[in-house]
């Protein structure tokens, strides 16, 4: 029981610390002055604090989650697609939709992104479905965003490497240049979402031929 109490206290501490981290931003909004460089770093650090706290919160909640049998006769919280979805298109192409854009990697590696992708794949497999495995894969990342919803426009500043690292060994063997091809494309849209499609590299021409057609990617 002591472990449970300590974990609950830690959850409360994480939430309080994360909230305190927003103080500098609130002060600036109330008339404070901050250089663009410092504002960028402060925003990155604030997001990083919340992301790290979220990952630890996930671990703490999972460690203290009652066994499924104890909840068998209780209502289950409805699932909300606030993070993303995974589906298999035409039995061959793995499509992952993230309900957010790729984060900036200017200051830190987005650990939350790899954790989120892992959890989405775990959830997909938990339904008795198998993930495809590509010996030679093509990963197409298509961000749908508008100018107002995007601040990181340079492709090399986006966290696409985190995506391939999260999928390596699970959907394809390695992310070297002879095993994985990467295509980063963007579409103007008000959605602000990220579509990640994995396919056999031999299907590349077919994929791009139908990308904006019947599959609606």
DSSP string over 150-207: -----GGGBTHHHHHHHHBTTTBS--STTTEEEEEEEEE-SS-EEEEEEEEGGGHHHH
Which option is the CATH number for 84-210: 3.30.420.130, 3.30.1330.70, 3.40.1080.10, 3.30.2350.10?
Answer: 3.30.1330.70
Q: pLDDT confidence of 90, banded at 50, 70, 90?
A: confident
How far does Cα 29 stand from its chain's mean position? 28
Mean pLDDT of the chain: 81
pLDDT in tens, 145-157: 876 655 566 676 6
Q: How far is CA 170 from CA 58, 125, 130, in A?
A: 22, 12, 11
Contact call for residues 50 and 25 (beta carbons, < 8 A):
no
pLDDT above 50 (res 207) = yes
Q: Who has greater pLDDT, 147 or 18?
A: 18
pTM for this predicted structure: 0.69
Q: What is the mean pLDDT of residues 178-198?
A: 91
Position 116 pLDDT exceeds 80: yes
Asked if pLDDT for residue 73 goes beyond 60, the answer is: no
Model confidence band, residue 202 (pLDDT cutoffs 50, 70, 90): very high
Q: Is the pLDDT of residue 134 over 70?
A: yes
Mean pLDDT of the 100-120 span: 79
Q: Does the structure show a pLDDT above 80 at 59?
A: no
The pLDDT, as a whole number, for residue 115 is 87
């Amino acid at each position: 029981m002591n472990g449970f109490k300590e974990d609950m206290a830690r959850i409360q501490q994480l939430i309080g610390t994360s909230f305190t981290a927003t103080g500098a931003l609130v002060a600036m909004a109330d008339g404070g002055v901050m250089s663009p460089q410092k504002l960028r770093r402060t925003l990155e650090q604030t997001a990083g604090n919340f992301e790290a706290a979220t990952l630890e919160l996930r671990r703490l909640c999972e460690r203290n989650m009652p066994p499924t049998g104890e909840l068998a006769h209780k209502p289950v919280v409805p699932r909300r697609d606030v993070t993303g979805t995974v589906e298999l298109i035409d039995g061959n192409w793995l499509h992952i939709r993230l309900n957010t854009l790729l984060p900036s990697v200017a200051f830190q590696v987005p650990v939350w992104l790899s954790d989120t992708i892992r959890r989405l794949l775990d959830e997909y497999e938990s339904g008795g479905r198998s993930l495809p495995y590509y010996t030679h894969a093509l990963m197409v990342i298509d961000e749908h965003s508008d100018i107002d919803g995007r601040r990181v426009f340079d492709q090399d500043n986006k966290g696409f490497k985190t995506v391939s690292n999260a999928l390596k060994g699970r959907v394809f063997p390695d992310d070297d240049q002879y095993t994985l091809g990467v295509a980063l494309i963007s579409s103007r849209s008000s959605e602000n979402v990220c579509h990640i499609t994995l396919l056999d590299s031999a299907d590349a021409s077919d994929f791009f031929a139908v990308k904006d057609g019947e599959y609606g990617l």
